[in-house]
Structure 1
């Protein structure tokens, strides 16, 4: 049984004995003179050296005593200033928080200036502390080799509060730039409308000019704006499809089997497709079109209803003029918003419910578990939340463009009519675009629709947004 330590001297004896009996200590002693003990002469020399060292230390203490007392007093004053500054900064920060609710920009700006001022004071006090020798034993070494680094660090600490203020000013400038941009859009739109009005009276001038810029169209709903938004829908859909396909490849999916499943779901008759067949009409290189067709069919489902059938609202029938104005107001408010930020503030708004519904329709639980190894994102969406992942963020890009297109569709009078090429239908170049490019740029004879990729629209001004289709040979 190990003996317990009874007092401090007992502890010292035990530590000394342990050091003497340690193998390393014994080995070192043997290397020196093959003896574990010092000679009497060495002991006497050590005692004399300790006495001389003690005398020098006492003399140094007598000489430096007043200086140390002064430094201690100086340090106490410095610490008092530090505590006062921290307290002032805390009070300023509390005032800054209070200015947020209720929102008071003037109080917020004043409190922000106060917080920054106290941070500057702290930076100055820290610099005083370092110059007074508060840096400890490392300061001397740094003067020789690393003084430059200390200087750079101090400058950065002093400049940091100013940089924070500059960043805030930059944000304010961006907000002002957006306001100016919106005003310019309205001005350009007014000029464009005036120009079109005068051109309409002149013979031989076409009213439906498609070269109008998006900025000039943003103040009023126009068929041209609807066409431009549909182009954005297609681009975002292609981007999301590419990401999903790459995840499937990484998860070692059988892409051919997945394509066959999509073909079976889109087939309306057995004329051109047998669901029990082991072959596919889509080549491996064109699998992205089948996947894009699946995504488009899911996300456009319910497009003809004012709320995608999320509720039984009939506002578009009861008060159509006001409903059209409201839809276009929502479009203008939302087009420049980041969907992630919007859903972070209002996760259960109409757009948030739309995103949740469409994500759960497109990404099956088994699909998500296979791609990511868990159902974390699925659980978040089912609970009414919106994950901040790269995959979900890419999905929000598609959802936002479709939502904007839907708002525009219900802003126009008359509203665009949606159509989709049916499977096995003849190819009509005035209503369809082939996603697969043929040699010579022309579709050869005998081609029919293998499956639709994205819908088309007929607009009120007579123009047509062509449906995109995947073509196959009739035979």
Structure 2
């Protein structure tokens, strides 16, 4: 009797320990436990019979052996179920990994497709999708590491702590980036606030300077504002088109034009050009109708040049400026017959200023690398073919590679073409600003042999006395001037000579 009770106690302990070591939510486990309970309950009458003194002899030992065999089989089944569950969990994890990698690949392909044609919104959505899939892969990696390191005894509290720590490790870099971006935004907001205050002060000063002084007072105020803020700050602050912004853009056109002229003149010297003959050809073009071959040194119609040897750069800059500003009065430089500025002027002005804002910070080389046939790309191609004649290019570089690429709709990657793009971008932005203003600026140009008017003209040559001597007339125009809607004037630049 004592042995039977002991065997049942051992059986109960083994089953209980197995359930605790291998907790499963499977219905097969529940049914087996119910079977154990049923087995135990059905064994109770026999226990009662033994208590009444019935002795079964060897049958008792056989029953004990059967119970011991049943317990051992149960333990084996539980271990098999546990291994099967782990295998299913690993298969599920691998499926999640393959799905996440495939989704990340699709998102990355969408990100590449958004670059050509250029689609900022599609790029933003694809970028978010790629980051989301990378996070999923990182979480799956941590799940695999945790699962590999989990002890089969299953300490769930320890697992939860590891999960929380792993999650913090995954999220921590992104939180740090977010905090850094927040600090940068605060710094930029403070900078914008300070610049707005400076702009308000400058505008107030400019208005007070206008008073009875007319346009001269306004000009003084504007020059002071440029000295205080600087060109880049004025452009960064401007939220609406303004005459001051147009003047700043015109200064950029002049600087870019000077830089390109210096490079072109240097190439001419290296190619052993007759600079004096080239200058005479340019002077002739300003006095007569310009032709495609007007730059050619053989087309000489003036016996002696009015430009001194060290002032040849002004004649060359005049030639470049005339080519770039040709068609400036039309909304598309006469590249097509668009009439949007007449059919819907308000919307057209808004569109022009939006394009100005979008393009002013772009690198023209990168833009044309993505959209070579956009309106700006067509403008660059048209102006390059107008400024650089095939004979000129062949003389400077020994080949016509630039012309070949430009003629086929491509844009060369060279220092010379990059300098050219600097002028093209500056003129294009000025053109967008001109059609953003209401009313649009009125362009004018000083004519050859005209009297010098300091209110509308500016001499490119500085005189020793600081003032233009009496009796000076226009030898040739260098760059055009503009009359703005607020009454101010962007002076035309001219090369002056003494009256004969």
Bigger Cα displacement from structure 2, 405-414 vs 203-212? 203-212
Q: Which residue of the partner structure matches residue 225 of structure 1? A: 245
1:92–1:112 Cα contact (<8 Å) kept: no
Aligned runs of 1:197-276 on 2, under 5 Å? 209-210=221-222, 211=225, 213=229, 214-215=234-235, 217-268=237-288, 276=301
Partner SS, residue 234 of structure 1 = helix
Inter-CA distance 216–382: structure 2 relative to 1 (3 Å threshold): closer
Q: Which residue of the partner structure matches residue 384 of structure 2? A: 359
Inter-CA distance 358–116: structure 2 relative to 1 (3 Å threshold): farther
TM-score (normalised: structure 1): 0.62
1:192–1:216 Cα contact (<8 Å) kept: no
Deviation at 1:268, TM superposition (A): 4.0
Distance 2:249 2:186 in 1: 22
Segments of 5+ residues of structure 2 without an aligned counterpart are 1-97, 114-121, 140-172, 290-298
Bigger Cα displacement from structure 2, 259-268 vs 196-205? 196-205
Q: Which residue of the partner structure matches residue 421 of structure 1? A: 446
Distance 1:203 1:419 in 2: 24
Q: Which residue of the partner structure matches residue 141 of structure 1? A: none
Inter-CA distance 446–415: structure 2 relative to 1 (3 Å threshold): same
1:302–1:309 Cα contact (<8 Å) kept: yes
Q: Which residue of the partner structure matches residue 339 of structure 1? A: 364
1:327–1:408 Cα contact (<8 Å) kept: yes
Deviation at 1:204, TM superposition (A): 5.4
Distance 1:359 1:470 in 2: 25
1:453–1:469 Cα contact (<8 Å) kept: yes
Q: Which residue of the partner structure matches residue 348 of structure 1? A: 373
Q: Which residue of the partner structure matches residue 424 of structure 2? A: 399
Distance 2:281 2:182 in 1: 48
Q: Which residue of the partner structure matches residue 131 of structure 2? A: 109
TM-score (normalised: structure 2): 0.59
Write the deviation string for residues 262-311 of structure 1: whole angstroms up to 9, x where unpaired.
11111149xxxx95333211111111000000000000001111111111
Write the deviation string for residues 92-128 of structure 1: whole angstroms up to 9, x where unpaired.
98467335257522442366689999xxxxxxxxxxx
2:280–2:301 Cα contact (<8 Å) kept: no
Deviation at 1:218, TM superposition (A): 1.8
2:472–2:496 Cα contact (<8 Å) kept: yes
Q: Which residue of the partner structure matches residue 310 of structure 1? A: 335
1:421–1:449 Cα contact (<8 Å) kept: yes
Partner SS, residue 439 of structure 1 = coil
Deviation at 1:406, TM superposition (A): 0.6
Q: Which residue of the partner structure matches residue 158 of structure 1? A: none
Distance 1:199 1:472 in 2: 34
Q: Which residue of the partner structure matches residue 160 of structure 2? A: none
Distance 1:238 1:94 in 2: 48
Aligned runs of 1:30-179 on 2, under 5 Å? 94=105, 97-98=108-109, 100=111, 101=113, 103-109=125-131
Inter-CA distance 196–471: structure 2 relative to 1 (3 Å threshold): closer
Deviation at 1:323, TM superposition (A): 0.9
Alignment of 1:433 onto 2:458: yes
Inter-CA distance 364–203: structure 2 relative to 1 (3 Å threshold): closer
Write the deviation string for residues 338-360 of structure 1: whole angstroms up to 9, x where unpaired.
11111111111111111110010
1:281–1:450 Cα contact (<8 Å) kept: yes
Alignment of 1:320 onto 2:345: yes
Deviation at 1:391, TM superposition (A): 0.5
Computed over aligned residues only, the root mean square deviation of the Cα atoms, in angstroms, reads: 3.9
Distance 2:354 2:362 in 1: 13
Alignment of 1:453 onto 2:478: yes
Deviation at 1:420, TM superposition (A): 0.5
2:250–2:430 Cα contact (<8 Å) kept: yes
Distance 2:364 2:239 in 1: 21
Larger Rg: 2
Distance 2:335 2:492 in 1: 26
Write the deviation string for residues 371-429 of structure 1: whole angstroms up to 9, x where unpaired.
11111111111111111111111100000011111111111111111110000001111
Partner SS, residue 347 of structure 1 = coil
